[in-house]
């Protein structure tokens, strides 16, 4: 059994979107599963619509997702070059072969391929037997001399010895053109595997680059975890059949196979992605999470007033890790740790002032704050219990006003955790300020 060779062949004519990423992922998974070769090939035959910026987006997105290629731009390989714009001489050789066998003709300056008109049958690894007959001759070289997609795609698959063509179902109808060409070249057919499409989450049709949430770079910018996105994406059109969902990548590689891919299209669900992202965020070791969160905060300008003390920042981030569902929630969730002029939430204030005498409770906290042991949540809890029992009150009578006083909000980490991380001086200043609130 010869080695599996698959390729991902994006065209740098648009942004890199969810559907492309999933196609790349399925190819990559299959290559890794079979210990085969994952080739990156750039289909840049349409000179009008290409741009280097789009090319860079493809490289960046693939790298960010962790989809490393074994052959392709930047890494080389024996079947290069891997940009179609650099492969003209190869196309000319193959074209000469077609001309020699009488399979081409010129019309209006373009080169047409003469089809056989025979029924084209493929055994799709996902859909089974699919039969279609190509009806018309089609253009393989434009009148400007540039070869078109159908030709170069097939030539490259032959020249690069691609064994499995894993691509979106939108190519299924094109396949009869491609098999006509494979046969005209006398080349064996690769195994085709047409994967289901990703449908936009609202409204009809497949997801396109203009749809909300379609662009990979957007998830990157917003601080999504690539491992979560990869895990989510692999579940769109495939499942491990054992009810597992959050799986480490090696496990996915082990279980992934073509016959397990579904035949029906899948609708994109951002809520499930968000849930997956949260699961990964919460499961992340603190030592991994802190630098990640820090770079996200720096990138989004959260520290415009200067970088905070790194040990303090670490404490804050560790305290809030399980309180946020995504990195995007981080800036508002931690802002009060880094500024004294934080706002007091009106609703929270109304709620707390509507019951009991919060200022009196805060005065009682201040009275013994100097004796409080800030070294751990447990010692602070012991201190608070002491305060409460001395005044015949509940700890909750202090916790809620206390949290509001030091954070301005009624939700967040534990009272003890906030106090511990803020430290005695900050807490004292904020409690005192609270007493002068209108």
Residues 225-254 binding RNA (CB under 7 A) are: 235-239, 241, 243, 245
Give residues 154-193 in contact with RNA (rule: CB under 7 A). Answer: 169-174
3-class SS of residue 227: helix
Largest CA distance in the chain: 101
Eight-state DSSP code of residue 375 = T
Q: To the nearest whole angstrom, how small is the minimum distance from the Cβ of residue 169 to RNA? A: 6
Q: To the nearest whole angstrom, how small is the minimum distance from the Cβ of residue 242 to RNA? A: 7
Task: Determine contact, residues 207/199, Cβ cutoff 8 Å.
Answer: yes
List the one residue out of 179, 198, 199, 203 whose CA is nearest residue 189: 179
Q: To the nearest whole angstrom, how small is the minimum distance from the Cβ of residue 426 to RNA? A: 18
List the one residue out of 192, 198, 194, 207 whose CA is nearest residue 235: 198
Q: To the nearest whole angstrom, how small is the minimum distance from the Cβ of residue 115 to RNA? A: 13
Give residues 281-300 in contact with RNA (rule: CB under 7 A). Answer: 282
Q: What residues are paired with 5 via a beta bridge?
A: 37
Q: To the nearest whole angstrom, how small is the minimum distance from the Cβ of residue 66 to RNA? A: 21
Binding string to RNA for residues 332 to 371, with x set by CB under 7 A, is what?
A: ----------------------------------------
Give residues 412-431 in contact with RNA (rule: CB under 7 A). Answer: 412-414
Q: Is 152 exposed, middle or buried (0-12, 13-18, 19+ CB in 10 A)?
A: buried
Burial call 283-293: b when 16+ CB within 10 Å, e when fewer: ebeeeebbeeb
Among 108, 341, 350, 425, binds RNA (CB under 7 A): 108
Which one, 71 or 156, has the nearer CB to RNA? Answer: 156
Which one, 274 or 303, has the nearer CB to RNA? Answer: 274
Give residues 3-32 in contact with RNA (rule: CB under 7 A). Answer: 9-11, 13
Which one, 43 or 180, has the nearer CB to RNA? Answer: 43
- By the rule CB under 7 A, 391 interacts with RNA: no
CA dihedral 313, 324, 276, 171 (to 10 degrees): -80
- By the rule CB under 7 A, 99 interacts with RNA: no
Q: To the nearest whole angstrom, how small is the minimum distance from the Cβ of residue 173 to RNA? A: 3
Q: Specify whether 177 is catalytic.
A: no
- By the rule CB under 7 A, 86 interacts with RNA: no
- By the rule CB under 7 A, 265 interacts with RNA: yes
Which one, 45 or 163, has the nearer CB to RNA? Answer: 45
List of residues 6+ apart from 328 with CB closer than 8 A: 222, 223
- Helices 286-299 and 310-320 pack at an angle, to 10 degrees, of 110
φ, ψ (nearest 5 deg) of residue 307 = -70, 140
Which one, 99 or 282, has the nearer CB to RNA? Answer: 282
Give residues 56-75 in contact with RNA (rule: CB under 7 A). Answer: none
Among 110, 191, 284, 292, binds RNA (CB under 7 A): 110
d(CA 364, CA 390): 10
d(CA 258, CA 194): 10
User: Site for RNA (CB under 7 A): how many residues?
Assistant: 77
Stretch that binds RNA, among 56-64, 301-309, 321-329, 369-377 (CB under 7 A): 321-329
Stretch that binds RNA, among 61-69, 213-221, 270-278, 353-361 (CB under 7 A): 270-278
Q: Which of 63, 209, 351, 355 is catalytic?
A: 209
Among 161, 275, 363, 391, binds RNA (CB under 7 A): 275
List the one residue out of 4, 401, 400 whose CA is nearest residue 166: 4
Whether a cis peptide bond, with omega within 30° of 0, leads into 81 is: yes
d(CA 352, CA 70): 61
d(CA 423, CA 374): 7
- State the catalytic residues: 209
């Amino acid at each position: 059994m010869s080695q599996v060779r698959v390729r991902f062949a994006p065209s740098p004519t648009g942004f890199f979107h969810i559907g492309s990423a999933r196609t790349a992922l399925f190819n990559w998974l299959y290559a890794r599963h079979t210990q085969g070769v994952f080739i990156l090939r750039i289909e840049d035959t349409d000179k009008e619509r290409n741009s280097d910026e789009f090319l860079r987006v493809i490289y960046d997105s693939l790298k960010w997702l962790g989809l490393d290629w074994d052959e392709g731009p930047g890494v080389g390989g024996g079947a290069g070059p891997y940009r179609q714009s650099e492969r003209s001489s190869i196309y000319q050789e193959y074209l000469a072969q077609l001309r020699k066998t009488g399979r081409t003709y010129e019309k209006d300056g373009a080169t047409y391929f003469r089809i056989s008109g025979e029924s084209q049958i493929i055994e799709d690894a996902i859909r089974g037997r699919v039969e279609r007959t190509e009806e018309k001759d089609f253009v393989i070289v434009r009148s400007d001399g540039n070869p078109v997609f159908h030709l170069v795609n097939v030539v490259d698959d032959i020249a690069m010895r691609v064994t499995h063509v894993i691509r979106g179902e939108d190519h299924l109808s094109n396949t009869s053109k491609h098999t006509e060409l494979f046969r005209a070249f006398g080349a064996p057919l690769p195994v085709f595997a047409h994967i289901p499409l990703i449908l936009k989450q609202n409204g009809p049709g497949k997801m396109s680059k203009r749809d909300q949430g379609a662009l990979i770079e957007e998830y990157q910018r917003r601080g999504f975890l690539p491992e979560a996105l990869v895990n989510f994406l692999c579940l769109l059109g495939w499942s491990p059949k054992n009810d597992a969902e959050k799986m480490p990548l090696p496990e996915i590689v082990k279980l992934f196979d073509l016959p397990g891919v579904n035949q029906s299209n899948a609708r994109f669900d951002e809520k499930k992605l968000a849930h997956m992202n949260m699961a990964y965020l919460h499961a992340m070791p603190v030592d991994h999470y802190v630098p990640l969160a820090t770079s996200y905060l720096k990138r989004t300008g959260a520290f415009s007033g200067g970088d905070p003390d790194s040990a303090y920042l670490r404490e804050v981030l560790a305290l809030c890790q399980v309180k946020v569902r995504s990195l995007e929630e981080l800036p508002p969730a931690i802002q009060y740790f880094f500024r004294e002029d934080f706002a007091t939430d009106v609703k929270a204030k109304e709620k707390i002032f509507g019951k009991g005498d919060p200022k009196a409770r805060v005065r009682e906290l201040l009275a013994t704050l100097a004796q409080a042991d800030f070294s751990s949540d447990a010692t602070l809890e012991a201190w608070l219990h002491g305060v409460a029992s001395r005044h015949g009150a509940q700890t909750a009578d202090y916790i809620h006003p206390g949290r509001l006083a030091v954070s301005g909000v009624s939700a967040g980490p534990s009272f003890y955790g906030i106090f511990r991380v803020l430290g005695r001086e900050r807490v004292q200043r904020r409690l005192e300020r609270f007493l002068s609130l209108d």
